Amino acid sequence: DGGITQSPKYLFRKEGQNVTLSCEQNLNHDAMYWYRQDPGQGLRLIYYSQIVNDFQKGDIAEGYSVSREKKESFPLTVTSAQKNPTAFYLCASKASGRALTGELFFGEGSRLTVL
Amino acid sequence: RKEVEQDPGPFNVPEGATVAFNCTYSNSASQSFFWYRQDCRKEPKLLMSVYSSGNEDGRFTAQLNRASQYISLLIRDSKLSDSATYLCVVNSPGNTPLVFGKGTRLSVIA
């Protein structure tokens, strides 16, 4: 089945540690996105990538880093510089040329808790 | 003014009620519009796109008013299973990411 897989689903981290969240898609989508969601809040864009080997900062990129070495993969690293990393992280992808349909396909999310 | 604004709710309605949500957007050049549904602690999923002429899918009707820059979602004959957060999403011209509203929470009560 085609889709987006995020791992891990739940992650606990000590302060000062970097963690990497995995996002893999087999939908052959060009564009991939990382969002953060806090309780009672909407989705805020962290980073996005429209094509392999290229990515742009979103609205809240500070303290995060990404890479896009393969079309299928868009991992997100939450660094120790991120002041308040506890949140629900959502990865999404969209096919290029489908701007008018706009359907974003989301992974099931990764819930990060900093202890 | 925020790019996409929604009434956060919660809207608490009895089963069978009709409920409507509005969403306003600030960029007059926005081209496409969507409603997503998000269940508690789950990922958002596309509910429906919103077309200029308005569109209906079963109990759900979406409408777009470009002059006033708002879109609406109407749910008729509410079911318990409609309880969720409804996210308004707008796509501006060019290759820019979709912009999400903060969502409106709906609780349908028996």
| pLDDT, tens only, A74-97 | 999 999 888 899 999 999 998 876
pLDDT tens track of chain A, all 115 residues? 679 999 999 999 888 899 999 999 999 999 999 999 998 788 999 999 999 999 999 999 999 999 999 999 999 999 988 889 999 999 999 887 654 456 889 999 999 999 8
* pLDDT surpassing 80 at residue B96: no
Question: Smallest CA–CA separation between A65 and chain B, in Å?
Answer: 18
Closest CA of chain A from B17, distance in Å = 24
Among residues B85, B11, B73, B78, which one has the least CA distance to residue B41?
B85
Q: Does A39 touch chain B (CB under 8 A)?
A: no
Task: Please list, in sequence order, all residues whose beta carbon lies within 8 angstroms of the beta carbon of residue B58, skipping any fewer than 6 positions away.
Answer: none
Q: What is the pLDDT of residues B29-56, one digit of tens each?
A: 888 899 999 999 899 999 999 988 889 9
Residue B100 has pLDDT above 60, yes or no: yes
Per-residue pLDDT tens digits for B4-20: 999 888 999 999 999 99
Query: Is the pLDDT at B93 greater than 90, yes or no?
Result: no
Tokens standing for B44? 């958002």
Are A109 and A7 in contact by the 8 Å Cβ rule? The answer is: no
Contact A109 B42 (CB under 8 A): yes
pLDDT in tens, B61-79: 999 999 999 999 999 999 9
What is the rounded CA–CA span in Å between residue B38 and residue B15? 19
- Is the minimum CB–CB distance between A60 and chain B shorter than 8 Å? no
Share the mean pLDDT of chain A. 91
Q: Which residues contact A12 (CB under 8 A, 6 or more apart)?
A: A112, A113, A114, A115
A33 and chain B: CB distance < 8 Å anywhere? yes
- pLDDT higher at B97 or A97: B97
**What's the pLDDT at A20?**
96
The answer to whether A55 and A68 have CB atoms below 8 angstroms apart is yes
CA A76 to chain B, closest CA, distance in angstroms equals 17
Cα separation, A27 vs A45, in Å, equals 21
The minimal CB distance from B97 to the residues A48, A88, A107 is found for A48
Contact A104 B44 (CB under 8 A): yes
Which residues does chain B have within 8 Å of residue A107's beta carbon, measured at their own beta carbons? 43
Q: What's the pLDDT score for residue B1?
A: 58
What lies within 8 Å, CB to CB, of A98 at 6+ separation is: none
Which among B95, B97, B100 is the nearest to A42, CB-wise? B100
Interface membership of A5 toward B (CB under 8 Å): no
Q: What is the CA radius of gyration of chain A?
A: 13
Q: What percent of chain B has pLDDT over 90?
A: 75
A61 touches chain B (CB under 8 A): no
